[in-house]
Structure 1
Amino acid sequence: MSISLCATCGVEHASRPPVCAICADERQWVPADGQRWTTLEELAAAGASVTVAELEPSLWALEVAGVSIGIGQQSKLLVTPAGALLWDPLPFVDDAAAARVRELAGDAGVVAVAASHPHMFGAQLEWSRLLGGVPVLVSRADLDWVARPGAALEAWEGERELLPGVTLTQPGGHFPGSAVVHWAGGAGGRGVLLSGDTIFANPDRVSVSFMRSYPNRIPLSGRVAERVAAHVARFSFERLYNNFDGVVPRDARDVVVRSARRHREWADGDHDHLT
């Protein structure tokens, strides 16, 4: 059965409403020429494929190539001896992509598919189906954004150890249920944070941003930025990856804390004399 994908955000839908609710929200956008839909079959016929590249040992980046679909996010596959996590699933999957992920995951297989927030739901249930029906974890606070129900969906909240040394935790911010993944074994044992765009690595690679909407430039308050930073600062992490190709390669925990303080200072007017 064909599923519908919003061409703008890439999220799978069980039906085609007049407008995708995720795109109609102030955090996203509907194209000037109106709502557009596509299917996995149409994308495959147009030449879509999934590329896989190693970011560091046991961490892989997945991207859609050959077509334009969704917001162009980068999925992460985190592989451990006890199993693998597919994080921020792409809006396209086919048998070849699923087979490659299963190969990289090894004998323990993929234990879960999870998204940092609704913009990253992608084709989450299709990924689950092609990976053997693994659970699709959705933050309970963001369940209302799910546009395609399915038996694999599993609500969660708070904090959850998915695998030894791999913790899914919920600082909120961008969405009430916005989540990140802490991987204690990453960066040679110094820790990695997979932050989605709950915490967004900036192009300078030495700072991060905290936003309600990235495309529409709506900031979070300074208080929320510092709350999010304090939540993740409970963990040790040397490196941070966002949901595109952004990375803070070193001292990432300190970078997050400093960036949140800078955000709060500017939001509070401490540096108005510079404007």
Structure 2
Amino acid sequence: MTTTNKMSKTTICSTCGTQLLAEPEIPSFCPICTDDRQYIPESGQQWTLPNELEHCNIKITQLNEHVYALKIQPDFAIAQRALLLISPGGNILWDCIPYLDKPTIDFIRSKGGLKAIAFSHPHYYSNMNDWATEFNCPIYIHQNDAEWVPFIIPHVKLWSGDSLQLWDGLSIVHIGGHFAGSCVLHITGITPNGTLLCGDTFNIARSKRHMAIMYSYPNIILLTKDEFAKAYQKASRLNFDTVYGAFENQDIEGNAMEIFKASMQRYKDGYGL
């Protein structure tokens, strides 16, 4: 990892949306996309300069009383959404999107700003340094994913262990599986039995009747039996009825635990656990 500051020249991978240093020169390839959990398109590695996204805007959608989804329009790179949790002790941004504009800054400030940014996994680091600098808040990333942080500023706080307790019943829980440091954000108090913001730690099917956990989603690579068992053991300790995933329409409200258990049982049967 290389230390940098807001004035450093950067470029953005057009495929995954990760912001990388572009000095002394633009990298030949994006390290995120050369990994088996992502891909470089057949057209080859392409880069986007930050100012080339200025034609975009960010759509803000309220998912419930406490959670907002933020998504860049038109779609860019992976086209994930970030989730903004409004909480009395301070707001948290879960995952990130590769653009930040003034209307979004104003909206978040109107809700009390950001106390922290936290991540499910490296595919959504995006331009996290810009967000953290703007809101002067820490970025929490699990130590197991430290190698994927393209460059750091003092805002980046690596943590270790099974969970990081925050405030107002919030905790970042290390699950593993998809990435060594994959996490979920567990929230108590906003739904009867708890809420998960899961990013891609668990991927919610279009039908909303299944939740997947894999080593690579785009390349359809399964976890090893041992890695699944470890991830399942950690996730099964959590209580929740609602899950919000990384993409639009990946919302399961009310019966998420039943869907999780049924989905994981399929994996257990397949792995012979």
TM-score, normalised to structure 2's length? 0.90
Deviations 1:120-174 (A, max 9, x none): 101101111111x211111111111111221211101221112221110101000
Deviations 1:202-221 (A, max 9, x none): 12212200111110001113
Q: Select which of 77, 98, 110 maps to 2:105.
A: 98
Residue identity in the other structure for 2:81: Q
Question: Does residue 183 of the first structure (1) align with residue 195 of the second (2)?
Answer: no
Note the C-alpha offset of 1:38: 1.1
Looking at structure 2, the residues matched to 39 and 128 of structure 1 have their Cα atoms a distance apart, in angstroms, of: 19
Note the C-alpha offset of 1:77: 0.3
Preserved contact between residue 208 and residue 256 of structure 1 (Cα < 8 Å): yes
TM-score, normalised to structure 1's length? 0.90
Q: Select which of 252, 258, 261 maps to 1:257.
A: 261
SS of structure 2 residue aligned to 1:218: coil
Find the counterpart in structure 2 of residue 32 from structure 1. Answer: 42
Find the counterpart in structure 2 of residue 116 from structure 1. Answer: 120
Deviations 1:183-223 (A, max 9, x none): 11222x32111111111111221220011111000111344
Preserved contact between residue 52 and residue 60 of structure 1 (Cα < 8 Å): yes
SS of structure 1 residue aligned to 2:43: coil
Note the C-alpha offset of 1:6: 0.7
Deviations 1:37-90 (A, max 9, x none): 11221110xx11111110011100000013x42200011001111111101111
Looking at structure 2, the residues matched to 18 and 252 of structure 1 have their Cα atoms a distance apart, in angstroms, of: 42
The within-5 A match list for 1:204-219 is 204-219=207-222
Q: Which stretch has the larger CA shift, 250-259 or 220-229?
A: 220-229
Question: Does residue 137 of the first structure (1) align with residue 153 of the second (2)?
Answer: no
Note the C-alpha offset of 1:226: 4.1
Note the C-alpha offset of 1:224: 3.2
Looking at structure 2, the residues matched to 7 and 99 of structure 1 have their Cα atoms a distance apart, in angstroms, of: 27
Corresponding pairs, count: 261
Looking at structure 2, the residues matched to 163 and 200 of structure 1 have their Cα atoms a distance apart, in angstroms, of: 26
Preserved contact between residue 80 and residue 97 of structure 2 (Cα < 8 Å): yes
The alpha-carbon distance between structure 1 residues 250 and 229, as it changes in their structure 2 partners (threshold 3 A), is farther
How many percent of aligned residue pairs carry the same amino acid? 31
Find the counterpart in structure 1 of residue 158 from structure 2. Answer: 155
* Structure 1 gaps, min length 5: 271-275
Looking at structure 2, the residues matched to 222 and 23 of structure 1 have their Cα atoms a distance apart, in angstroms, of: 25
Looking at structure 1, the residues matched to 166 and 241 of structure 2 have their Cα atoms a distance apart, in angstroms, of: 20
The alpha-carbon distance between structure 1 residues 222 and 257, as it changes in their structure 2 partners (threshold 3 A), is farther
Note the C-alpha offset of 1:232: 2.3
SS of structure 2 residue aligned to 1:73: coil
Looking at structure 2, the residues matched to 239 and 229 of structure 1 have their Cα atoms a distance apart, in angstroms, of: 18
Looking at structure 2, the residues matched to 267 and 202 of structure 1 have their Cα atoms a distance apart, in angstroms, of: 20
Looking at structure 2, the residues matched to 40 and 113 of structure 1 have their Cα atoms a distance apart, in angstroms, of: 20
The alpha-carbon distance between structure 1 residues 252 and 225, as it changes in their structure 2 partners (threshold 3 A), is farther
Q: Which stretch has the larger CA shift, 231-240 or 163-172?
A: 231-240
Find the counterpart in structure 1 of residue 16 from structure 2. Answer: 9
Note the C-alpha offset of 1:267: 4.0
Note the C-alpha offset of 1:182: 0.4
Find the counterpart in structure 2 of residue 167 from structure 1. Answer: 171
Question: Does residue 20 of the first structure (1) align with residue 30 of the second (2)?
Answer: yes
CA-based RMSD: 1.6
Looking at structure 2, the residues matched to 155 and 194 of structure 1 have their Cα atoms a distance apart, in angstroms, of: 19
Residue identity in the other structure for 2:265: R
